[in-house]
Amino acid sequence: MLMPKPDQSVLERRDLIVNALRAIVEGEGVIAQEEQMRAYETDALTAYRQMPMIVVLPQTTKQVSEILTYCHAEGIKVVPRGAGTSLSGGALPLADAVLLGLGKFNRILDVDFENRAVVAQPGVTNLGITHAVEQEGFYYAPDPSSQIACTIGGNIAENSGGVHCLKYGLTTNNVLGIEMVTIQGEVIRIGGKHLDSEGYDLLGLMTGSEGLLGVVTEVTVRILKKPSTARAVLVGLASSEAAGACVAQVIGAGIIPGGMEMMDNPAVNAAEDFVGAGYPRDAAALLIVELDGPKVEVDYLIGRVREIAEANGATSLRVSENEEERNAFWAGRKSAFPAVGRIAADYMCMDGTIPRKMLPEILRRMSEMSIKHGLRVANVFHAGDGNLHPLILFDANQPGQLEAAEAFGGDILKACVELGGVLTGEHGVGVEKRDLMGEMFTRVDLDQQQRVKCAFDPKGLLNPGKVFPQLHRCAELGRMRVHEGQLPFPDIPRF
């Protein structure tokens, strides 16, 4: 993975920079010792590692602003970091960059039930928000599997999703406002407890911008009342086609389940070995359909889902009768990653999205690829919204296997794009999918995105080397293309 070349003139000034940062953040908030920085050298995409130049852990927006003002003036790169659970290398350090950790921004600032909003600092964990409101029966809906660890700031940067996003939306649909600091050190507040933006939707733009546009220092999210009932249906099916048909027919019947997940046979067996959730080991595909809402509605919809499953030849079907059973149904799905981790030395988790109807086709293609690359694959899907998480099994100690796994992953994502989908559904581009961006976008598409980056960060100092396969100078991107020829459109009707 080619990263931007370290700037020698910055590296030479390292001691000066450490001192300047210590003048802003006192004591242990600046880390310059290699052994203490090691905890920051990678995120959850552990195949890539890089020691940062310096780590700084500010506690106030003012400090963030001073750090960024200084770095901007001095031409020093900055990599923001939350909990470091990114699966795409979004928080991967650079050798000549300051790693800006937001872990000390860990307070809930305001719980406002009247407006159904929580204001939190960005280092609060996703689950921390729910914990702050659950005594009143509320929760924060987007629920990435990493929710005990990942931060709300990281969620905004990645526009993270979870099992319940099918019905309740992704991070972007649940954020009301932010405070952010630009690389120039300016503090900007966008949105608040009201809805919709007053000008360009910069909140929507910031969400999912992977730390390239600004550092988020405060977050306002909306909270929801917990549904009074939730029940899950566990359906075993004889083929992925039958599972795909089931998913399509549930949606076609006008039902939007709280969650609709699918696992293929290898994933089912890995999960069963690991937690013994009672999954049918012989099922070619397993669906977990969760219905939530008022009890009458849930009971009624369970009946309709059951009919659809049976019409598609369900080989097994169980409905949860209590919370314990419902949690047991989920236990296997929720531990799918570690479960697969046990049956292989290493695994790589992919994250493409396809139109739902392409589920059987992508599975067929994946089994072909599995033979071609000589590696096994287990699949878990957010089936309701077509988001795939193929887990490629390999052994990094075997020469060539890491490369084969990467090639396999690349092939899967290219197939996703070919089938009308996208490279990443919720984990972000980061460094991992950076060089595949050309599969989905033309040079012109990417240039326009980079111009937006230039509007925020003209010197390209914030998290460079992520998302975009090629870096262009803003001056170059700003130049207008010369349009040749005489005044065009003689053929367009004019009045």
Ligand X SMILES: Cc1cc2nc3c(=O)[nH]c(=O)nc-3n(C[C@H](O)[C@H](O)[C@H](O)COP(=O)(O)OP(=O)(O)OC[C@H]3O[C@@H](n4cnc5c(N)ncnc54)[C@H](O)[C@@H]3O)c2cc1C
Cβ neighbours, 10 Å, residue 445? 12
When asked if residue 43 is in the footprint of ligand X (CB under 6 A), the reply is yes
Name which of 260 and 308 has its Cβ closer to ligand X. 260
Asked if 102 and 153 touch (Cβ cutoff 8 Å), the reply is yes
When asked if residue 144 is in the footprint of ligand X (CB under 6 A), the reply is yes
Phi, psi (rounded to 5 degrees) for 427: -90, -15
In 209-264, the DSSP E strands lie at 215-222, 224-225, 229-237, 259-264
- The binding track of 346-375 with respect to ligand X, each residue x by CB under 6 A or -, is ------------------------------
When asked if residue 389 is in the footprint of another protein (CB under 8 A), the reply is no
Beta carbon of residue 327, minimum distance to another protein (angstroms, whole number): 20
Beta carbon of residue 255, minimum distance to another protein (angstroms, whole number): 7
Among 49, 451, 470, 473, binds another protein (CB under 8 A): 451
Question: 433 pairs with which residues across the strands?
Answer: none
Tokens of 303: 């009946």
Please give the order of strands across the beta sheet that includes 108-112: 108-112, 117-120, 215-222, 175-181, 187-191
When asked if residue 27 is in the footprint of another protein (CB under 8 A), the reply is no
CA–CA–CA angle 441, 364, 237 (5° rounding): 120
Question: 194 pairs with which residues across the strands?
Answer: none
Footprint (CB under 8 A) of another protein, residues 390-449: 420-429, 433, 437, 440-442, 444-449
Among 58, 93, 122, 464, binds ligand X (CB under 6 A): 122
Report how far residue 445's alpha carbon sits from residue 440's, in angstroms, rounded to the nearest whole number: 9
Q: Which of ligand X, another protein, none is residue 111 near (CB under 5 to 8 Å by kind)? A: none
- The binding track of 177-196 with respect to another protein, each residue x by CB under 8 A or -, is -----x-x-xxxxx-xxxxx
**How far does the chain reach from its first CA to its final CA, in angstroms?**
55
When asked if residue 8 is in the footprint of another protein (CB under 8 A), the reply is no
Question: 97 pairs with which residues across the strands?
Answer: 77
Name which of 41 and 43 has its Cβ closer to ligand X. 43
Sign of CA dihedral 132, 136, 142, 145: positive
When asked if residue 211 is in the footprint of ligand X (CB under 6 A), the reply is yes
Give the count of residues interacting with ligand X (CB under 6 A). 36
Name which of 163 and 277 has its Cβ closer to ligand X. 163
Name which of 203 and 289 has its Cβ closer to another protein. 203
Report how far residue 10's alpha carbon sits from residue 17's, in angstroms, rounded to the nearest whole number: 9
Q: Which of ligand X, another protein, none is residue 193 near (CB under 5 to 8 Å by kind)? A: another protein
Footprint (CB under 6 A) of ligand X, residues 425-444: 426-427
Footprint (CB under 6 A) of ligand X, residues 66-85: 79-85
When asked if residue 316 is in the footprint of another protein (CB under 8 A), the reply is no
- The binding track of 40-79 with respect to another protein, each residue x by CB under 8 A or -, is ----------------------------------------
Q: 323-334 vs 336-343: helix axis angle to the nearest 10?
A: 50
Tokens of 249: 């027919």
Report how far residue 367's alpha carbon sits from residue 283's, in angstroms, rounded to the nearest whole number: 17
CA–CA–CA angle 441, 444, 446 (5° rounding): 55
When asked if residue 228 is in the footprint of another protein (CB under 8 A), the reply is yes
Report how far residue 307's alpha carbon sits from residue 233's, in angstroms, rounded to the nearest whole number: 12
Beta carbon of residue 180, minimum distance to another protein (angstroms, whole number): 10
Residues binding ligand X (CB under 6 A): 43-44, 79-87, 90-91, 102, 122, 144-146, 150-151, 153-155, 157-158, 160-162, 210-211, 215-216, 337, 426-427, 463
